[in-house]
Amino acid sequence: MTNLDDLKDAMAAPPDFAPRPIDLGTVMVAGGRVRRRRRLAVSAASGLAVAALLVGGAQFASRAAAPEPAQVAGQGEDPQPTSAQPTSTQPPNTKDESPRPATTSMGGVLGDIIHTGVDGWLLYTTSIDDPALPDTHFGVNVGLAAPNGQPVTVVTTNETTGSDRSPGFHAVQGTMEVETHITPTFGYYIGSAVRITATANGTGRTVNAHRATWSEDPSVVMFWFNPDVGSVRNLKAYGSDGQRLPAGRNGIGVG
């Protein structure tokens, strides 16, 4: 037996405690709450779509911009902070400019819906009111516009540890395949980030995120990566002077 086999045997041996029986009732109640939050976002977003049609006569789906590829810097290198402004990290049509029923919450959706310009993905925030998360008041969502123009939420994410407004990254969700759709890696940043980068796991290249400021609070910078970049790591944010900004919780969750 080799030493490595010893290690494997030791890890495979039962721990010196009996696994706690999981309270599946609690699990399903908590999981159901997450599901309902997503449904609420869907219905609220749908309501906003209808309201926009009534008020402005615009259609969500028709406003999607042509996809813009993420900016790619030197392979395998960290971004070189400069004083220059980032180039076109923000798609030309990132915000829904149609007349909207003000920036009020409509059953949970808060502020503008952002057309990412990438594979039809929409990005928007929804309100969160959960006693278990007293310092979390909103989450970010990606969804798709249905043929009738109504957005349908696919993934919702929110801060689960501490304040949702502390400086740095929050609630970053990794790319996933959901019913044949590849969702973008997305999340939000609190602070004046003019450039957000990550390292693509597949190529090792540094890629720039698309960004858009939340209409309700300019300190909230929502961002997303093109899904064709694949999974990413090593999120970084830069200010207008090229200096690194606080990372905050820059882990990338899945699921």
Partner 1 sequence: MARGDDEFVEFATASSARLQHVAYLLTGNRHEAEDAAQTALVRTYAAWQRIRRNDAYAYARTVLANLVTDQWRRPYREYATDELPDRPTPRDLADDVARRRWLIGALDTLSPRERAVIVLRHYLDLPEAEVARELSLSVGTVKSLNSRGLAKLRLEPDAPVPTPRRNQESGARR
Interface stretch with partner 1, choices 29-37, 80-88, 90-98, 112-120 (CB under 8 A): 29-37
> What is the Rg, in whole angstroms, of the alpha carbon atoms belonging to the chain?
20
Helix (H, G, I), strand (E, B) or coil at 162: coil
Cβ nearer to partner 1, comparing 74 with 253: 253
The pattern of x and - marking residues 61 through 100 that bind partner 1 according to CB under 8 A reads ----------------------------------------
30 is a site residue for partner 1 (CB under 8 A): yes
Closest contact distance (angstroms) between CB of 48 and partner 1 is 23
The one segment of 32-40, 83-91, 102-110, 124-132 that binds partner 1 by CB under 8 A: 32-40
Nearest of 77, 139, 86, 78 to residue 108 by alpha carbon? 139
Select from 125, 136, 215, 250 the one that contacts partner 1 (CB under 8 A).
250
**15 binding partner 1? (CB under 8 A):** yes
Nearest 5°: CA angle at 38, between 199 and 128? 90
Structure tokens at 206: 């540094």
Question: Which residue from 226, 182, 173 is spatially nearest to 200, judged by alpha carbons?
Answer: 226
- Nearest CA to 160 among 171, 150, 152, 149? 171
**Phi and psi (nearest 5°) for 63?**
-100, 0
Q: Which amino acid is at 36?
A: R
Site residues (CB under 8 A) for partner 1, limited to 214-233: 231-233
32: contact with partner 1 by CB under 8 A: yes
d(CA 187, CA 167): 13
Query: Segment 151-210, which members bind partner 1 (CB under 8 A)?
Result: 174, 178-179, 199, 201, 204
Interface with partner 1 (CB under 8 A)? 2-4, 6-17, 19-24, 26-28, 30-32, 34-35, 38, 174, 178-179, 199, 201, 204, 231-233, 247, 249-255
